[in-house]
A and B are shown apart, each in its own frame.
Chain A
Amino acid sequence: MAEGNGVLIIGETQADELSLASQEILAAGRKIADDLGQELAVAVFGSAVDAPARQAVAQGADRVYSVTSPLLAEFQVELYLAAADILCRETGPAIVLVARTNQGREVAPRLAFRLGVGLAQDCLEVSVDTATGTLLANRPVYGGNAVAVVSCNQSPQVAAVRPKVYVPLEPDQSRQGEVVSFPVDLDESMVRSRVIEVVKEEAEGVKLEDASIVVSGGRGLGGPEPFAKLEELAKLLGGAVGASRAAVDSGWVPASYQVGLTGKTITPDLYITIAISGASQHMAGCSGSKAIVAINKDAEANIFREARYGVVGDWEKVLAAMTETVRELVQE
Chain B
Amino acid sequence: MPAKIAVLAKQVIDPEMPMAAFQIDANAKRVFTPPNIPPVVNGFDENAVEAALQIKDSQQDVTVTVISSGAEFALDVMKKPLSMGADELVLLQDESFGNPVDSFQTAQLLASAIRKLGGFDLIICGRQASDWDNAQVPLGVAELLDVSCVALGKKVELKDDKVVVERLIPDGYEVVEASLPALVTVSNELGQPRYPTLRGIMAATRKRPTIWSASDLEMDGGELEPRLTLHDLFVPVSNTECEIIEGDDEQDAGRKLALKLREEKFF
A residues adjacent to B (C-beta < 8 A): 77, 102, 105-106, 108-110, 112-114, 117-122, 136, 140-154, 192-202, 209, 213, 237-238, 245, 248-249, 254-256, 261-262, 264, 269-270, 281, 291-295, 299, 302, 304-314, 317-326, 329-330
**A119 and B171 form a contact (CB under 8 A):** no
Minimum Cβ distance to chain A for residue B139 (Å): 4
B-side contacts of A196, CB under 8 Å = 175-177
Task: Name the one of A213, A254, A281 contacting B267, with C-beta atoms under 8 angstroms.
Answer: A213
**B148 and A314 form a contact (CB under 8 A):** no
A-side contacts of B230, CB under 8 Å = 148-150
**A153 and B175 form a contact (CB under 8 A):** no
Task: Compute the total of residue contacts between A and B using a CB distance below 8 Å.
Answer: 258
Interface size on B, residues (CB 8 A): 84
Given contacts A194-B177, A255-B168, contact A322 B257 (CB under 8 A): yes
B-side contacts of A147, CB under 8 Å = 233-236
CA distance A110 to B149 in the complex (A): 10
**A146 and B177 form a contact (CB under 8 A):** no
B residues adjacent to A (C-beta < 8 A): 13, 15, 19, 22, 24, 31, 101-104, 107, 127-128, 130-136, 139-140, 142-144, 147-152, 154, 168-179, 182, 187-189, 192, 225-236, 238, 240-245, 249-255, 257-262, 264, 266-267
**A318 and B177 form a contact (CB under 8 A):** no
B-side contacts of A117, CB under 8 Å = 227
**B235 and A293 form a contact (CB under 8 A):** no
Given contacts A143-B130, A261-B133, contact A150 B228 (CB under 8 A): yes
Which of B13, B134, B261: most chain A Cβ within 10 A? B261
Given contacts A106-B151, A120-B228, A321-B254, contact A146 B31 (CB under 8 A): yes
Minimum Cβ distance to chain B for residue A18 (Å): 18
A-side contacts of B253, CB under 8 Å = 311, 313, 318, 321
Contacts A/B (CB < 8 Å), 24 sampled: A110-B149, A142-B132, A146-B234, A150-B101, A151-B228, A193-B177, A195-B174, A195-B176, A200-B172, A261-B133, A270-B267, A299-B244, A309-B245, A309-B257, A310-B243, A311-B254, A313-B253, A313-B254, A318-B254, A320-B254, A321-B254, A322-B258, A323-B258, A325-B255
